[in-house]
Structures are given as structure tokens and as C-alpha cells.
Structure 1
Amino acid sequence: MKAFVTTVEAGSMSSAAAQLKLTPAMVGQHIAALEARLGTRILNRTTRRQSLTDFGKNYFEQCKDILERVAITEMEAEAQSSEAQGVLNITAPVTFATTMLMPALKRYRQLSPLVKLQLMLTDQNLDIVEEGIDIAFRIGPIPDSRIIQRILMPYKMVVCAAPEYLAKHGTPIHPTNLKEHEVISFTKTADTPLKFYNDENIVEHKAQSMITVNNGYALLSAAKSGLGIIIQPEILLKKDLESGTLLRVLSDWHLGERQLSMIYYRYKNMTPKVRSFINFVIKEFRQ
């Protein structure tokens, strides 16, 4: 499986062979053995190019998941015999870090007291290899084969406003009604059209915001003051929605499924500090 996955990601058997310290012929034998076991071809290959078969595409994703689970299990076993220590560089989106990650770090510190944590909170997707980051948290897909992605939990967005605002301006009952309202947008996504879904329809809407803000807590403050409607993560809004300080609108619609993930580079020799944090995060946040 490792030979197969590496061949697909590297683009050729010769490149995979160099990474795995095998001969190209041996890599080919491993893939041929897989196909013989499965009773079907998984990789179309010629002297010039290779491509996955329809079954091979699905099998490739399954193999990646299996190999990842094996790696995590091996990390857990190795972690029993070595103590985590040193500096761990982490980056995370501001809202997730402030509402969920920071409160959880007290428990991690109790487990790994010798690890020094350096956190960079930003909503920019930094290149973790170039920036020397050990662990990053991301929202949405990760289009990089160098990176291992561990999906943790859904990241739901909610449309809401203060009772004061809704009493004065009315409550939108359809996504198209938002064009009649003051929508305060998050700067990074202000120009990105939103897709609203319900059981039958998909409606695309692009907010025409007179105010954009680059911080979730500032957006929250603006909404609570009655300034307008915001669309923010449920984890940020939960307490105010429960208390009634903010009211959810368009509750029959949702903004698609996005996932919060932990990502890290495919280390050849993963250090105990990285292993310890990966294990902690999976146990703490994975649903």
C-alpha cells in the first residue's frame, strides 16, 4: 500500500522508488501484488505516464487512511518510550484558537509539561513547510499531498443578528432577503459568494457589505450592538445564541459542510513533541 500511495503522489515508480529506497522494479512488484490480491487493476501504466483506474481512485483514498491510522498507532507506541520536550510551533484560526484550543491547552500542559508552545493565531493559510510550523489547524480541504490531514469536527456557520436589529429592520426568511439588510462581513471572505442550502434548493448570494472586519470578535461585538447581520462560526456565537443576545436567522438553510482539520507535514522521523500533541488533539477534538 505504501508503494502504491507513494507512486501516485510522486507521479512515477522511479520517483517513488527513490523515496522508499527501493528499486523501480520492486515498487512495480508491490503494486502488481496488490492488483493480484484485489483481482483488479488499480493503476494504468505505460512507459510515459500512469493514471488511476476508477477503482484505483477510491482504493488510493482508502490506502491513505489505513496507512495514516497505522502511523498514528505506531506514534502512540513510540511515545510510551520517549518524553515530549522542546519547542512546538502551532498555527490556528483566531476564532477556533480563542474559543476552543486555548482552554484545552491546560490539559495538554499537564500531559507534556516539558513542551514549550509557540502559537501563531491567524486566518491566513501559512505554508507550514516554509514557515517551520509543526502543527496547523485549517478549515476546508487541504490540496497538498505533502500534508497529512486529520479531520476533527464540522465547522458550522450561522447567520444571526441582535433582537434590536431584527425588530427595526425585519427578519430575512430567504437568502435573497439579505440584499435588503446591513450584512457585516469578515474581510477574508467578503468577496466570496455564499451558497445556502436547504432540502430542495441551492441559492447563491454575495453580500454587499458597507462594513468589513478582519476579526470574529469585532464582528460579534458589532452584531450585539445592533449594527447588522453577521455570518460567523457557531463556536463563536454559541453563548450569545443560547442567552438570546443574538437570534439565529435563516435557520431552515445551511451554508454547506466544512470541516476543521489538524494538518502536519509527512515527517520521516516524527518527534515525541509532535506525536504527543497529535494524540492529544485527536482525543480532545475529534468527533
Structure 2
Amino acid sequence: MSKLRQMEVFVAVVEAGSFAGAAAALGMSAVMVGRHVQSLEKTLNTRLVQRTTRRQTITGEGRIFYAEARTALEQVAYAYNRVEASSDAPSGLLRVTAPMTLGVSLVGPLVTEFMQRYPQVQVELILSNEVVDLYESAFDLGFRIAELVDANLVSQPLPPYQMVICAAPKYLEKAGEPTTPEALHAHRILTHTSWNNRFAWPLKQAGKEVFWPEQAVLRSNDGQVLLQAAIAGSGILMQPDFLVAAALANKELVSILGAYVPAHKPVQMVYPRSKKSLPKLTAFVAFIQARLGLPSQP
């Protein structure tokens, strides 16, 4: 295993507070995170993380190593950035983070197209519904479903996140079409597991908020899984328009309850001001702006 990668993983464990949190931030399994840490401990011949069945605690030696490792990783990142900024051609590793459904349905295809245009750029795309600190996690750019107030980040507004409520025609023929949000409680519901306080999507009715039914026949953290279940006639789905657009166009799904859909949520593409001059980043930002028909940001 690479010593540098082991340091990156250990720093992520300390900053996330757990192996599972580090795994989500790094886009690897918790088992692999544990292997990296164990290998590092074997190399250093000391315990860095004290593990129990309930928690992980960083040892005194671990705290010392964390401080030095983070400084070393920052210096490595600085060295890479200096060299990359000196070249006019986009190249190197671009680290991007995005929420799950937005990442799979929108960002992922754009990244693939970008890489075909700029073959010297490698992309690491990590999908997580947690808000990732771009500075602490060394990401170059992030996509966020939220308003943004952070003076250290450059923000590019993207088309808003708009939900659609829909179902397969065969489901509606059998179960009937609900005409009010309350009627949803009598139907089979498909729900995304990330819908919590931060990602709640209340429906609108007569100036009041009506929440999506809690009971569901299927819960998943993957919008594509929910989409396929809806197309198969398994129930009623609420997902973003970009995810269901093709199925609606093909008549595999039909939109319902359009008067009650949740309010739009803003979507931002953000990146640290300190990385603004990197060719790989400026090329990616310009590419996204062009593909989505957005104005260039100063």
C-alpha cells in the first residue's frame, strides 16, 4: 500500500471521527479503510486508533502523527498545485464531490464527457449526501443542493433542483390517481433514505407544508433503484426532474400532483478561491457552464 495513501486515509479517519465516515468521504469501503490504518500501524509499530465494539479513539501517538501527516499532505497538494498552475494545459487529478442522485444522474455523465475532451485530466468523483468540507478533504470542487454563504468559496448557481411526483400508467390504472397529498397515504410509496431534516421535501398545499408519507414499500439511497421500481409499477415516486425526464418522455411514467410539488432548491457548483487558477479546475468549470448554458463567472 502507498504510504501517502495510508496517510490520507488516517487523516480522513481522524477528521471524520470513524472508519465509516472516512470511507464515505474517500469513496472506499470501511474494511479497506481499516486495512490502510492497520498497515500504517504495522509500519510505525505503534497503535494509532484504539478500537472497541462501540467506538474508535485516536491515541496520543495517533494525534501526533495526524498533525504531521496533515501538514505533509498539505505540502504535497501545494507542490502539485504549483506545477499544475504553471502549465496552460489541463492535467492532473481533479477531485469532485456531489450528492448521490445529482451525482449519478447529472454530474457523472458530465464528468465522463469532460474526460473525453481532456484526456490528461483524471477525475475522482465521490458521491455523498453529507456536506464535505472542500478544504479539509482536499476536494477541488463540489456540487451542493443549498444556498451558499462562504466567502472562501467561489459559487456558480446551477439550474435549481426541482422535484416531480410520478408513477407508471399501469400502477395508476390499478390503484387510481391521487388528487391531493393526503391521498398518498393510501398508496404504495417509494422513498429515498436521505430524506431527513436537511433534505426534507415538503409538499405545498394551500400555503401549508404537507410531508411525504413516512411509510414506504421501498426505501433506497439510490435514485436509479427507485426509478426502476416506479417504471415497473411498484408505487409512486418523487425524484428530481433530471432523473425522471427520459421516463416521462417515453411515457413510462406520468407526472401527478403537479400543483403540490415542493419548492425548488438551489444548486451550487463551488470551489476554493485558492484553486481558481488551476487549469484543470478552470477547464471543468467552463465545461459545466457551457454544457448547462450558464453565464461565465468572473
Which of the numbers 245, 257, 266 marks the counterpart of 2:252? 245
Change (3 A) 1:239 1:92: same
Match of 1:259 in 2: 266
Deviations 1:207-248 (A, max 9, x none): 122332111011112212222111101111111111111111
Deviations 1:28-82 (A, max 9, x none): xxxxxxxxxxxxxxxxxxxxxxxxxxxxxxxxxxxxxxxxxxxxxxxxxxx9982
SS in 2 for 1:194: coil
Runs of at least 5 residues in structure 1 that lack an aligned partner in the other structure: 1-78
One-letter identity of the residue aligned with 2:282: R
Which of the numbers 207, 211, 217 marks the counterpart of 1:205? 211
Match of 1:45 in 2: none
Pairing 1:279–2:283 present: no
Deviation at 1:268, TM superposition (A): 6.4
Match of 2:221 in 1: 214
Match of 1:159 in 2: 165
User: How many residues end up aligned between the 2 structures?
Assistant: 208
Pairing 1:108–2:104 present: no
Deviations 1:113-171 (A, max 9, x none): 32211111233322221111101111122343332221011221101111222122211
Structure 2 length-normalised TM = 0.62
Change (3 A) 1:128 1:249: same
Structure 1 length-normalised TM = 0.65
Which of the numbers 71, 84, 90 marks the counterpart of 2:90? 84
Identity of aligned residues (%): 30
Runs of at least 5 residues in structure 2 that lack an aligned partner in the other structure: 1-84
- Higher Cα radius of gyration: 1
Question: Superposition pairs for residues 27-176 of structure 1, below 5 Å?
Answer: 82-176=88-182
Mapped contact 2:192–2:220 kept (Cα < 8 A):
yes
SS in 1 for 2:258: coil
Deviation at 1:106, TM superposition (A): 4.9
Mapped contact 1:187–1:213 kept (Cα < 8 A):
yes
Mapped contact 2:110–2:288 kept (Cα < 8 A):
no
Question: Superposition pairs for residues 224-235 of structure 1, below 5 Å?
Answer: 224-235=231-242
Mapped contact 1:193–1:207 kept (Cα < 8 A):
no
| Structure-1 separation of matches of 2:228 and 2:290 | 32
Change (3 A) 1:172 1:259: same
One-letter identity of the residue aligned with 2:267: L
| Structure-2 separation of matches of 1:142 and 1:101 | 19
| Structure-2 separation of matches of 1:107 and 1:214 | 25
- Cα RMSD (Å) of the superposition? 2.5
Change (3 A) 1:182 1:286: same
Which of the numbers 233, 236, 246 marks the counterpart of 2:243? 236
One-letter identity of the residue aligned with 1:230: L
One-letter identity of the residue aligned with 1:93: P
Change (3 A) 1:242 1:279: same
Deviation at 1:190, TM superposition (A): 5.3
One-letter identity of the residue aligned with 2:287: F
SS in 2 for 1:223: helix
